[in-house]
Structure 1
Amino acid sequence: MSKSSTPTSARDSSTPLLVGACIAWGVATLLFFLLFTAPGEDGAQPDWFLTGINLLEIGAFFFAALLCFRNWRSSQIVSGRNVWFWIGLGLLFYAMGTVLFFIWGTVWGLDPAVSLGDFFYIFSYIFLAAGMFKAVLPRRLNLELPQWMMVVGIGLGGVLLAIFVNIAAAEAIAVPLGQVPAMHHLAQAPPDIAPAPALEAAPAEAPALEVEEEASSAPPLILQIDGMLEPLVDAVGLLYLIGDIVLLVIAGTLLVAFWGGRYSQSWKLIAIAAFCLYIADMFFAYAINTDTYVEGSLWEVFWTFSAVFFGLGAVVEHAVSVNSRRSPRRRRG
């Protein structure tokens, strides 16, 4: 028996463990969302629930980044080491952005239009797109017309969905949902009843808002930075939209370019990860534009699913690459 069989068998045994860990992380996150959600009367989730879902998301992205960096350090990766370096760096920046948002929102109680976490997210999109593009670039994309139409269709679908989300959000703001039942009750009321008391009670909400603003424990420097970044809200929103569409197009190209063959499974998982990220971002964009976002909504699980699929893709790519580079010689007894 050759001496090289021991490390090879160790690699083979680690693959199912890592795959199982990724799947278990995704299932545990989904169960946490479903079983422990406890919204209050105002729809807000308790702090312990928000802490739990943030830790699950941050842990998933950090773990996926480590798996990508493991591929980067391996000389046997078929798709190229730099590919996984950029993807791992993007996942790491995404995790750091989530850490900053957790500190801003849950620890300090802030809700700025733009914060430092947004810039980590934007750079994560750039790094992820660079890594995925490097995976497609070396391949000869001799695609047929139906395949190119599929890629173009995915891109156009992403653009149209983003436009639809923005239009639907604008209509929801122009006609608030709570306004329709109020007008219905007003039409059924007798003409001699005046709605004046409701107008007098409206200013009572202002002191509560002032108390919430004063309750923040953030350092003054952080408040100054948030104020300086606030004018960039439109530019940041546009960069998010461009990043989502670019990732969606590259993910569709990955599905077409790596559809068949031995090395296609890992890139199918990477494409699914990009789709999960896009789905969660579209839900988030709609909620933010309609001012109905409540942290801890069920759709946020897609962010964690994205990290899980990135991690699964890295594990599968490592296993396939190692097995393909294995010596074909038979072991001697």
Structure 2
Amino acid sequence: MSKSYENSYRSKSILTTQNLILASLSWGVLALLYFLLFSAKIPGPTGIETRAEWYVIGTNIFEAVAYLGASLLCLRNWRSNQIISSRKVWMLIGIGMLAYFVGGIFFGYTELVLKEEPDVSIGDIFFVLTYLCLGTGMVLALFSRRINLEAWQWLTVVLVGGLGSFLAWWISQQQQPSSNQLALLLNWFYIVSDVVLLIIATIMLLAFWGGKVSLSWRMIAAAAFSLYIADMWFGYAKDLPNYQSGDILEVFWVFSGVLFGMGAVLEYDASLSLKRRASGRKRT
């Protein structure tokens, strides 16, 4: 047996569905424990309570690994010829995850290294790209399946969309108005994008309910819900006195990346299972 074959077999045996799901869940649980145990603020030299810098660095690492991992898993689906859903959908979601990873790196660098909190930064370019790619990918995923919701399901979509819009509007009214027109435009873009993703996720959750193949898309919907929760909290908290990143609800950013990755893994596994069953029927 050649060494290259041994390395290929070993890598494939490690990247099983069970191992990837277990790793994703473990990362999410570790992140939750990290936020719960170390997010408390302590009095600084000036008497102002702040979080330890090592803790904030840790939160950035948890987020970065979650989104980078999700990006790699989604792009694996895009490259696979066996994926039953549209590969373009996974390409867009994968690019969105990668863009969020890069945007988070810029955000962390600006906050931790430069000690700045600008209204607009280079990271916003990548965050905007994230929303555009995610929104397009999730819409294409819905179009690939016939949407036939019942009346109560559409009512649920309207209620969730209405509540989500009201919360986003209320938070936007609590924010301090910015004199920077670009920052104001970006803020509204993020608010509208979060609400749109929330509505798409609700439709997706109801439309893809039931069946093993649909489980991956329920994970994607849950990831969008988590992103909405974290974004809404950040929109509210960033204008509070002495705000510093690392609040407990920001763990939902990590959850979002983890869930996107899990959705990709489950889709990959379901696709391989269907292909194996199809090939088995052909042989018989």
In the other structure, the counterpart of 1:193 is none
**What is the identity, as a one-letter code, of the residue corresponding to 1:245?**
V
The residue number in structure 2 matching 1:184 is: none
Mapped pair 1:163 → 2:115: no
How far residue 137 of structure 1 moved from its aligned partner, in angstroms, is 0.7
Distance (Å, rounded) in 1 between the aligned partners of 2:199 and 2:208: 14
Distance 2:39 2:171 in 1: 26
Distance 1:33 1:252 in 2: 27
Alpha-carbon shift at residue 110 of structure 1 (Å)? 0.8
Within 5 Å, give how 1:243-322 maps onto structure 2. Answer: 243-291=193-241, 293-322=243-272
Distance 1:330 1:233 in 2: 58
Deviations 1:183-238 (A, max 9, x none): xxxxxxxxxxxxxxxxxxxxxxxxxxxxxxxxxxxxxxxxxxxxxx9441110100
Structure 1 residue runs of 4 or more that deviate by more than 6 Å after TM superposition:
none
1:11/1:140 Cα in 2 relative to 1: closer, same or farther (>3 Å)? farther
User: 1:38 & 1:159 partners in 2: Cα distance?
Assistant: 31
Larger Cα Rg: Structure 1 or Structure 2? Answer: 1
Change (3 A) 1:73 1:11: farther
Q: Which has the higher contact order (CA 8 A, sep 6+)?
A: 1
* Aligned twin of 2:124: 118
Amino acid at match of 1:36: F
On the 8 A contact 1:270/1:313 being kept in 2, the answer is yes
1:28 aligned to which of 27, 30, 34: 30
SS of alignment partner, residue 280 of structure 2: coil
Matched, 1:73 2:73: no
2:20 pairs with 1:18: yes
CA, structure 1 residues 76+231, in 2 after alignment: closer, same or farther (shift >3 Å)? same
Deviation track 1:105-144 (CA, whole Å, cap 9, x = no partner) reads: 1011111111111221111011011111110012111222
Task: Provide the aligned length of Structure 1 versus Structure 2.
Answer: 267
What is the distance in 1 between the residues matched to 2:148 and 2:282? 37
CA–CA separation in structure 2 for the residues paired with 1:80 and 1:146: 29
Q: 1:162-187 CA distances to partner (integer Å, 9 max, x unpaired)?
A: 122234x26xx7xxxxxxxxxxxxxx
CA distance in 1, matches of 2:153, 2:212: 19
Unpaired runs of 5+ residues, structure 2, are 1-7
Output one character per residue of 1:247-288: Cα deviation in whole Å (capped at 9) or x when no partner.
101101101110123321111111110000000111111112
Root-mean-square deviation (Å): 2.3
Distance in 2, matches of 1:279 and 1:81, equals 28
Give 1:233's match in structure 2, choosing from 183, 202, 206: 183
State the 1:240 CA deviation: 0.5
TM-score, with structure 1 as normaliser: 0.75
Inter-partner Cα distance in structure 1 for 2:113 and 2:150: 52
Q: Report the TM-score when normalising by structure 2.
A: 0.88
2:145 to 119, 139, 150: 139
Q: Which runs of 5+ in 1 are unaligned?
A: 1-5, 174-228
Other structure's SS at 2:81 match: coil
Counterpart AA for 2:196: V
CA distance in 2, matches of 1:240, 1:283: 13
SS for the counterpart of 1:110 is coil
Q: Residue 11 and residue 323 in structure 1: after superposition, are their counterparts in 2 closer, same or farther (change >3 A)?
A: farther
